[in-house]
Structure 1
Amino acid sequence: MKNTMSALALLPALALIGCNPNTLDGTGEVTLQFGASETSARTALRATTVSSIPVTDSSGQAAGSIGLNEAWVVVKEIELEHETDDDDALEEELEIEFVGPFAVDLLSGETYPSLPSVSIDTGLYNDIEIDIEKLADSDLVGMPDLPQAIADQLLNYSLYLEGTYTSQDGSTYVAIPFSLSYDQTDEFELSGTDFSQGFVVDDTGINDIIVAFRLHEWFRFDNLETNSDGLELVNAITSTEGGNALVLDGNTNSDLMDVIEDNIEESAEYGEDDDDDGELDEDEDDDDD
């Protein structure tokens, strides 16, 4: 299944003066980072713990919060794409690949193994495609520092979250176990609405690109575009021998998982970290809000 995400107004401010964005006549160094933000894309991505992710019910009311201890995704491949609709310009589409897999800790931004820097042609890149897929046993050879407990999860799941859920009243459910396990192979595409949008790679230094996931969007159930049936997160709470638990996976909560998957897609954005501070500032990300 291919999921396409429009990354809103993609960085028109990054077009450099004196640079034809469709010109591919030099090379530039690009580094890529992944991260998650707790309340907005402008929150630093270096935080090692996301303390509280809000949950919103289908009516738009606060429905509690999720504290995350772990948030991981397996990125099989990342492609940066340059293409043009100008008949007089380069007709071919240029694709630059970061070939993984990479196990990405969304809470710290660390990847296993580390994402390399690559030298690519200068110009305007208007698409990032991210393929996610669970790990194979052979992949672990290149990830000797990946914690074993996480490796065990990522051999089964392409996306794994773990933490606790507390209801809004603070008493009905208090820090009950929470997990989200997603085992599908997927392709996320972050792209502009036309060929003039994207980010410019130049040859004046390192081009630091950040892909950020706004976690506060993941558990919103008041978005009619992703939750037209009015589903609620609390419907997934089950009673176990050890007490209540909130367990999400595609096998037992497929409808809820579809909503969350769509929310994850809509939460993703990218930008160029011009000031090298590890976060997307207001003039660096692709979000007008």
Structure 2
Amino acid sequence: MRKNVKSVIAGLVALNIVGCSQAPTEKVSTSLSMTGSSQAATVAKYKIQHPWMSLFMPSAVALTPPAMTDSSGRNVTLNKAWVVIKEIEFKPNETEDAAEIDGDEIKFRGPYVVDLLSLNPAPFGTAELPTGVYRRIKMKLEKNATLPAEAPMGLSGNSIYFEATVAGNQITYAADDGTEFKISGAGGINLNDNANLLVTIRLADLFKMIDLSGVSSNITITSSSRQPGVNLCPLIDSSAADLYTCIRKGLEKAGKFGKDDDGDHEIEAGEDEVED
């Protein structure tokens, strides 16, 4: 009897030790939003170095970005740029280009209808996320969402809708895509405290990687009218043979995901980021 009692006590002690060693994962409150940006690598943003200068100028000044151009140097004026995101998911501790890891997935559920030209990012909400380093975010597109009144009619039944003018010619792009696209890459976001995370599509970078020199009239680009061409976007996908693929894949290539520590709706040098 005494031996059995000792065994039970030993077992309880062992369980207690295991329980103590398996402390619950620490979580932090994290907000997530999405925006577009005309900021490119050549667009400067600076902070005033001398406090007395703030009497004449604001403490942070965004320089007027240059006109967007395509890879051939043609001017691009973007008039509408909308995407619809069904859900967002990301996991901690994945490495660049790693295969999927089984386990719980953290998701923001939409759909979220995002005007990439809006001055204010579209908020996706706040979630309690495990601490760790994040190197990949995946977003699933939604083509059948109920749209707000301000959304363009061309977005109905589609997940992506752009209107642009290239050298006086109107381009309309509409994608009825319901697949995922991801942003992953070098570096990572170290979530060790409450944070504001931002997904941004660098629109100037997107068009700078696509050759639109073959556009000589108004065109509509869809999954059934892809507008074929040769060597249209080698920096995005050297095998791409049409503008539909270039723009769709270019969204990933021009995407950035990181912390917006200063709340200026941009991911800048010094702020943790992941980019394709």
| TM-score normalised according to structure 1 size | 0.64
Out of 70, 73, 80, the residue aligned to residue 90 of structure 2 is 80
Distance in structure 1 (CA, Å) of the matches to 2:87 and 2:221: 25
1:215 aligns with 2:203: yes
243, 258, 262: which is aligned to 1:256?
A: 243
For 1:218 and 1:266, the matched residues in 2 are separated by: 7
Shift in Å, 1:132: 0.9
Asked whether 1:131 is paired with 2:140, we answer yes
The 5-angstrom pairing of residues 214-233 of structure 1 reads: 214-220=202-208, 232-233=211-212
Report the Cα offset of residue 118 of structure 1: 1.2
Q: Give the C-alpha shift of residue 73 in structure 1.
A: 0.3
Q: 1:75 to 1:43 in 2, by over 3 A?
A: farther
- In 2, Cα distance between the equivalents of 1:282 and 1:92? 33
Q: State the 1:286 CA deviation.
A: 3.9
Tell me by how many angstroms 1:106 deviates. 0.8
Q: Does 1:147 align with 2:127?
A: no
Corresponding residue pairs, total: 215
* Identity between Structure 1 and Structure 2 (%): 29
Q: Bigger relative contact order, structure 1 or 2, given CA contacts below 8 A and separation 6+? A: 1
Counterpart amino acid of residue 72 in structure 1: W
Superposition deviation, residue 83 in structure 1: 4.0
Q: How far does the alpha carbon of each residue in 1:206-226 deviate from its partner, in whole angstroms, 9 at most, with x for none?
A: x1111111112223457xxxx
How far did 1:149 drift?
4.8
SS at match of 1:56: coil
Per-residue Cα deviation, 1:100-145 (whole angstroms, up to 9, x for no partner): 110011112443xx42111222222222111112134xx35xxxxx
Measured against aligned partners, the alpha-carbon deviations of 1:176-232 in whole angstroms (never above 9, x if no partner) come to 323211111221122235xxx4212224x3x1111111112223457xxxxxxxxx5
| Superposition RMSD in Å | 3.1
2:77 to 51, 57, 67: 67
Q: Is the 8 A contact 1:24 1:122 kept in 2?
A: no
- SS of 1:233's equivalent? coil
In the superposition, relative to structure 1, how do residues 32 and 84 fare at CA in structure 2: closer, same or farther (>3 Å)?
closer
* Contact kept in structure 2, 1:39 and 1:216, CA below 8 Å: yes
Relative to structure 1, the CA distance from residue 92 to residue 185 in structure 2 (aligned partners, 3 Å threshold; closer, same or farther) is: closer
- Checking the alignment, whether the CA contact within 8 Å between 2:200 and 2:255 is kept in structure 1 is yes
Q: Which position in structure 1 is the counterpart of 2:165?
A: 164
Report the Cα offset of residue 160 of structure 1: 0.5
The residue that corresponds to 1:199 in the other structure is 189
Distance 1:53 1:287, change over 3 A: farther
TM-score, length of structure 2 as denominator length: 0.67
Runs of 4+ in 1 over 6 A off after TM superposition: 41-44
- The superposition leaves residues 128-168 of structure 1 with CA deviations (integer Å, 9 ceiling, x where unpaired) of 111112134xx35xxxxx22552x332221110113222xx
CA contact (8 A) 2:84 2:142 kept: yes
Match of 1:16 in 2: none
Unmatched runs of 5 consecutive residues or more in structure 2: 1-22, 46-61, 96-100, 228-241
| Structure 1: runs of 5+ lacking an equivalent | 1-22, 86-90, 141-145, 167-173, 223-231, 239-244
User: How far apart, CA to CA, are the structure 2 residues paired with 1:92 and 1:250?
Assistant: 33
**Structure with max Cα Rg:** 2
In structure 1, give the amino acid aligned to 2:257.
Y
